[in-house]
């Protein structure tokens, strides 16, 4: 399964604005309305809603491209890891943002040195895993594929 497919499965699709689990206005594949950029909105005819699935797919592609560039800039060591390991960190960043994932110091250090079981166990002790346990488990299981 590709990174895009994993994100789509975990986020689901909504063509209208809804409140996410933290109360933020969200649309498409988990896009925070407040974070949609002009170039992304242009793909949906310049409007937020309704959002077509086709536009959401294009926006997701663009968001993943931007996010990957940011992730590899912040975690430059990640470039040398296998794709499944990269996908775990990128998907964490998609859900929580790079700034929050940077706070996963111990988990990231375990990933960096190839201690994937320890990274999994540490990640599952986090607030993220307490708030979204099923998703955290699915994402972190990617360390073992």
- The enclosing domain of 112 has a CATH number of 1.10.530.40
Please give the Cα distance from 42 to 15 (Å, whole number).
Answer: 16
Q: Please tell me the pTM assigned to this model.
A: 0.95
Q: Find the helix packing angle between 3-11 and 83-96, rounded to 10°.
A: 30
**Residues in the chain, how many?**
145
pLDDT per position as a tens digit, 1-40:
999 999 999 999 999 999 998 899 999 999 999 999 999 9
Q: How do residues 52-67 score in pLDDT, each as one tens digit?
A: 999 999 999 999 999 9
Residues forming beta bridges with residue 26, ordered by sequence position: 18, 32
Residue 145 has pLDDT above 90, yes or no: no
51 and 2 housed in the same domain:
yes
Single out the residue in 38, 66, 94 at which a domain terminates. Answer: 66
The verdict on 49 and 94 lying in the same domain is no
Residue 42's pLDDT is what? 98
Range of the domain at 105: 75-144
pLDDT at 22 (0 to 100): 86
| CB contact at 8 A, 27 and 48 | yes
- What are the Cα distances from residue 125, in Å, to 101, 137, 139? 14, 11, 14
What is the sign of the dihedral through the CA atoms of 26, 30, 33 and 34? Answer: positive
Task: List, for residues 73-126, the tens digit of each pLDDT value.
Answer: 999 999 999 999 999 999 999 999 999 999 999 999 999 999 999 999 999 999
Give the pLDDT of residue 67: 98
pLDDT of amino acid 28: 98
Do 86 and 76 meet the contact criterion of CB atoms below 8 Å apart?
no
């Amino acid at each position: 399964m590709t990174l895009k497919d994993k994100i789509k499965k975990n986020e689901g699709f909504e063509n209208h604005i809804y409140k996410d689990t933290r109360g933020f206005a969200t649309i498409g594949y988990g896009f925070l309305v407040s974070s949609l950029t002009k170039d992304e909105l242009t793909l949906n005819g310049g409007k937020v809603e309704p959002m077509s699935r086709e536009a959401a797919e294009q926006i997701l592609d663009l968001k993943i491209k931007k996010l990957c560039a940011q992730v590899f800039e912040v975690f430059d060591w990640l470039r040398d890891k296998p794709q499944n390991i990269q996908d775990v960190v990128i998907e964490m960043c998609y859900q929580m943002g790079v700034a929050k994932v940077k706070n996963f110091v111990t988990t990231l250090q375990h990933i960096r040195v190839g201690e994937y079981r320890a990274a999994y166990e540490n990640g599952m002790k986090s607030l993220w895993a307490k708030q979204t346990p099923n998703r955290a488990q699915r994402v972190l299981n990617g360390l073992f594929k």
